[in-house]
Structure 1
Amino acid sequence: MPDVFINYRTGDGNDIAALIDNELANRFGKDRAFRASRSISPGSTYPDALLTSVRRSALVLAVIGADWLNFQSRLRDPEDWVREEIVEAFNCGVPVVPVLAGRRTERLRKERLPDELARLAELQSVRLDTQNAEADLKRLGDLVAEMIPELYNLEHAEVPAPDPGSVSNSVGTVSGTAVQSRDFTGDVGNTVIKGSTGPVHSGQGNIYQNSRHLSGDRHYSGDGMTNIEGNQRGDIHHRFGASSRPEGDEQ
């Protein structure tokens, strides 16, 4: 069940509710907040889904838009869902934080609220202005993490160390087939090594290379044959199993 229940009225704050939902999902995971238009599956009994989610939440964010108080007839209707969700939170002891949407929204006053909602005017509110959305959403997310320790711990949990048996590889420009693996069983058709600045070990088995620049009459045989491509300077040493090099030949 969700940790945060987002209470809002369609047509007055639903855009702010969506911003809050997205922010909480990015910080804590998509299932940590409940927003009716997203969280209730088609075919579900929505009255049960709404009230059950309120009761099981750790926090209710009540989005108060600029026209929220203009819905006086609805606020006094016991069957109005915005009212019913807030009253249910009060009855169940779930903390409620009013979120004032935009710069024009004033703090609530008790005399303008029905008795069942009068407590809203006594609660410390936070403001969320779309013109300062990034900072305001971060501040609201920090408040949620502070009020719900589980979410704070989730966000600040240490990333587990990588498995020592795992493999991390990167491949640059490849023409053809690239194969990456920790363990190989079987054959690999071609081995191409570019830009090596240290020893290279290509595994067990025969190695075949060709060259147009060999001088002299050399013949190498056995379980490996190596010819050198290009302008080779310096010594070359080879050993492939038991050598069958003609006696007297030098490497």
Structure 2
Amino acid sequence: MNSVFVNYRSSDEEASATLIERELSARFGADEIFRAGKSIRPGEDFERALLRAVHRCDLLLAVIGPRWLDAPGAAGGRALDDPDDWTRREIAEAFAYGITVVPVLVGDAGRLPAGSLPEDIAPLERCQYRRLNHRNAEADIELLAETVAELVPGLARRAPAAEEKAGGRGRNTFNGQARDVYQAGTVNEYRYGGIGSVSAEGGTVIGSAHGPVHTGSGDQINGTRVNGPQFNGGGVNYVAGDVKDGGRLNADVHDRRGSRERGE
């Protein structure tokens, strides 16, 4: 079932309608957001699919750009004056079924003048709107998503936001305080200068280390020690793992010449 129907005119703001649908799908789930170009399967009766989707939705978003009101129809004249114009029919069906309609004014599109619409969609002139300005798209989309969640309460954040997916930001508690935490993938990249920073893109970067680096638990073993390792050569770097069984080193050892031996 599609909870939100995205209505638009292809000759006006189709790209904006696609952006709205994709952003809302990312937040609430693709199956909850209907857009004709995405949601109608090949070979399906598009008229039945459109009417069924309108009748079953809880909210219709009417995407309105600067060309929406006066866009010409296929037979000449204004498209909105044709009773078979699908942009008009979808909105009219929503009003007839008591479905909430929210105009989304794109760019420089202004409010619809009183008396400018056919009678079956005239209530659209009085509907409170939201705006999408591409110079402020992130904030406008977020406000629109909040409006959708408010008007369709059961829809609220059914799918994780993009920032909470793998490699993104989340929340965790450290020493009793909530902190932002980042989950990062593995990055294989040479960086000169030692330890780098933690970020959403990278994680902790260790590069060009010229001494022992400890990443496990237990004591760090450096140099000569009874029953411990002694490594000689052209500037050996090694990574110590967990130290167990009386100080035996469980780690791989690399030298700068590319040789490799296993510490036991």
TM-score interval (norm. to shorter): 0.5 to 0.7
Deviation at 1:29, TM superposition (A): 1.1
Query: Is the alpha carbon distance of 1:73 and 1:128 closer, same or farther for their aligned partners in structure 2, counting shifts above 3 Å?
Result: same
Q: Note if 1:98 corresponds to 2:103.
A: yes
Change beyond 3 A, Cα 1:199–1:47? farther
Question: Over residues 28-47 of structure 1, what are the superposed CA-to-partner deviations in whole Å (9 max), with x where a residue is unaligned?
Answer: 11111000011111100000
Return the alpha-carbon distance in structure 2 between the equivalents of residues 42 and 64 of structure 1: 27
Q: CA deviation at 1:82?
A: 0.3
TM-score, normalised to structure 2, is 0.59
User: How many angstroms does 1:15 deviate by?
Assistant: 0.8
- 1:136 to 2:182 alignment: no
Q: Distance in 2 between matches of 1:133 and 1:8?
A: 18
Q: 2:89 maps to which residue?
A: 84
RMSD of aligned residue pairs (Cα, Å): 2.5
1:195 to 2:241 alignment: yes
Q: Which amino acid aligns with 1:137?
A: I
1:11: Cα distance to partner? 1.7
Which residue is 2:39 aligned to? 39
CA contact (8 A) 1:9 1:82 kept: yes
2:129 to 122, 125, 136: 125
- 1:129-184 superposed Cα distances (whole Å, 9 cap, x missing partner): 1111111001000110111111116369xxxxxxxxxxxxxx9x9xxxxxxxxxxx
Q: Are the equivalent residues in 2 in contact too, given 1:55–1:88 (CA < 8 A)?
A: yes
Give the SS at the match of 2:156: helix
Indicate if the aligned counterparts of 1:8 and 1:82 stay in contact, CA closer than 8 A.
yes
Aligned positions, number: 169
Greater relative CO, 1 or 2 (CA 8 Å, sep 6+): 1
Indicate the structure (1 or 2) with the bigger Cα radius of gyration. 1
Question: Which structure dedicates a bigger proportion of its chain to strand?
Answer: 2
TM score, norm. by length of structure 1 = 0.62
Question: Which 4+ residue blocks in structure 1 deviate beyond 4 angstroms?
Answer: none
The match for 1:64 is 64
Q: Structure 2 vs 1, CA of residues 199 and 4 (structure 1 numbering), >3 Å: closer, same or farther?
A: farther
Unaligned runs of 5+ residues in structure 2 are 72-76, 161-185, 189-238, 247-262
Structure 1 unaligned blocks of 5 or more: 157-170, 174-192, 201-228, 231-251
